[in-house]
A and B are shown apart, each in its own frame.
Chain A
Amino acid sequence: MIFREVEDRDLIAKARRGDVEAYNLLVSRWEKRVFNYLLRLVSNREDALDVSQDVFLKAYQNLRKLDAPEKFAGWLFRIAHNEAFSLLRRRRPEAELIPEMGSPDSSGRLLPMELSLAVESALKRLSEDQREAVLLKIYQGFKFEEMAEILECPVSTVKSRLYTALELLKATLAPTVWRGDAQG
């Protein structure tokens, strides 16, 4: 992880000097994480891909404004957050369809794919702010302080959103997942 950070910093320095290939390498390291974060937020693959491209383009254009290269991840996700919510605001008037939860098979136990779908569905039932808090913490591993910087809000707000989301997820997933678990 330390070596990775050093390498990222080196790539950032090169990209700042106009080395596009160095930046492409940096993109290749982060694109999957950014794409998955955006995919869970905007719930559409094409939109997530388009926004991902916009994110990396904006990041490249503003790379010189990044004060601390070691904070690249948080800075990148802040751009991604802004781009995603910009899209969500434009899209808001549309009715949002929430898919049905996955249901257990005849044995009561959920298959891995079904479990994954159940989680995906449960995440979609959260508010955008709550979902984003879960994505940044559970799937991207950011600390509360880093999340507060990305979301531009106090740590207390981050914790509030995340804790509420976890309670909702527990309530949503428990009947499906644990019933199957108990029967299995």
Chain B
Amino acid sequence: MIEQIVFGVVQVLIILLLAPLVQGIIKKTKARLQNRIGADIVQPYRDIFKYLRKDAVIAKDASWLTRATPYLCFAVTLCVGVLIPTLSIKAPLGMTGDIIVIVYLFAVVRFFLAITALDAGSAFGGMGSSREMMMSAICEPALLLAVISVLLGVGKTNVGEIVSTLVQLDWDLFDYGHWLSCIAFLIVIIAETGRIPYDNPDTHLELTMLHEAMMLEYSGRYWGILQWAIFAKQTILFSMFVNLFIPWGIAVEFTAEALLIGLFFYVVKVIAVGVVLACIETAYAKIRIFKIPKLLASSIALSMLAIVLQIAK
């Protein structure tokens, strides 16, 4: 029991500490690929700690929701953090929730962000909120189908158990179905983290904005917390991706040695996913908002193919 609690706390801390670093590395990679020097990879830490110290400006018409949402989102995201396996196949609180709970907890985060975007009455917030919710709605079936295509071979919905089954498959994991769902999942992950080609995470003031526009009214400590929550969400999504599709190196036994190796592989894999996303982001342009459904439909098609392959197996 104590062991599990300590493990949970450690996992939350790992995610919290790793999250800004992943963001920093993505930014640095993008900068280098675009022939810029770019900021330090530890810049996101500096930003967050600076923001936490600052006073905030809040719109006059805003309600308590604006003040509550950053903390709510932060805590919910960390809550998801203990439901997933990261460096070990055991999730600290695996029995409280499975992959459905994870999907819906992220939905809670998005729900509150979207609602508070309307709180200040700015048209930017409303626009961002409307588009983000639209995109997430179309994302939902894509995400669920991608998840099903992975789960089909396992027959369980607990993420920890899924990963432990997948690890046992070893090299048999290399089959077409699995890689099809891998691509399908990747497409959804890009959408969920609000990156190009869906959304441009670097700009605030463009009419193409989705995610960033929702949080335009935030400043000071609220903004710091919120940003940290969003980095953590990104890291959690990456962890789910690496553990579902490239689970090798994860700690199977619960010993100090295995955990250390697991930690090493976990950090490397998550950062690698970040680098890959940075490359995709540099190579593509942002697509028109009404083309997003087509991209997600392609993810759905891939998942369906993967499901068919799995059923046929």
Partners in one complex: no
